[in-house]
Amino acid sequence: MNTIAPGPSVTSELNQLDQLKKFTKVVADSADFESMRKFHPQDATTNPTLVYQATQKSEYAHILEKVIVDRKSSALSGGARIEEIMDHLLVAFGCEILNIVPGRVSTEVDARLSFDIESTCAKARRLIALYEAKGVPRERILIKIASTWEGIAAAGKLQTEGIRCNLTVLFTLAQAVRCAEEKVQLISPFVGRICEWFKAANKREYSAAEDPGVHALTAIYNYYKKFDYKTEVMGAAIRNPGQATELAGCDLLTIPPVVLAQLVESNDPVTRKLDAGTAKHCDIQRLALDEKTFRWLLNEDAMATEKIAEGIRLFAADIAKLENFIAAKL
């Protein structure tokens, strides 16, 4: 892997979070409003797991209760009614978040649609319509879609309609390249989950500098900057401060509150590690991808094959939990 010479560090009088913000847009990986007010992120991301966890807390219960009351007169019943409430709930959380962060919020499409292009597009359009009905411009919304072949194809269609997408459950350069070719707005490589797979497979720990997730994201970042792709790179599933600081200079990093707090507690210097200018000089070959090649490369990557399937299953399971919770309320 090509290495990047360390760039300038900022004064250690600042905590690590404030230093990191000099190089990278920091995004809150949370549905917890108070943590966003505390750490002042630029954007925020949510997913079914985070929304489900939030609905279990007393301070957020009123959001779901209001959605249920507001949809009381709906003519829908059964599963269709629960789906309608789910859509309104996701948008309600997103609107609350947009009252706190100055930038964008990511709202996720049902993971069970990850292999269905038309249904993914329909759900994305539905969510955008609900946001726009509340006066939120689509420029402030990123629709999160799993980075399957079908999900990436759906995102490409949506981008032509002015619906900006965040491609998630992403573990490989092949997925990233396909996203860039479809001109999606942003990708979210899962740094922490990549590292966790290698730790389990190799039965060893990794320092931040040798972290396989950090290396995977660095390779994607360098590829994008080398070939002038405009798709934004946002490191996701950040598990510890070391992963965050080793990725200083990445376009964005979405970081959970526990790691944001740890960054605030340290004043160790943060140095730029990723740099678009340096990436231009990396020795990288273009990756030619059609559907057969894409699927073969994923098949040959045991980590990606396992983690993509696992990620989609886990998100789908949390959607089901949220649906059951709503059904009990009804």
Of 31, 159, 185, which Cα lies nearest the Cα of 168? 185
Establish whether 144 is a catalytic residue.
yes
Quote the CA–CA distance of 131 and 2 in Å, as a whole number.
42
Beta strand 141-146 with 25-29 is unpaired
Task: Give the span between the Cα atoms of 146 and 152, in whole angstroms.
Answer: 8
- Three-class SS state of 142: strand
Length, in residues, of the chain: 330
**80 in the Ramachandran plot: left (φ > 0), alpha (ψ -120 to 50) or beta?**
alpha
The span from the CA of 211 to the CA of 122, in Å, is 38
Q: Which of 21, 144, 226, 307 is catalytic?
A: 144
- Cβ neighbors of 167 (< 8 A, separation 6 or more) are 144, 145, 146, 147, 151, 152, 155, 175, 179, 184, 186, 187, 188
The catalytic residues are 144
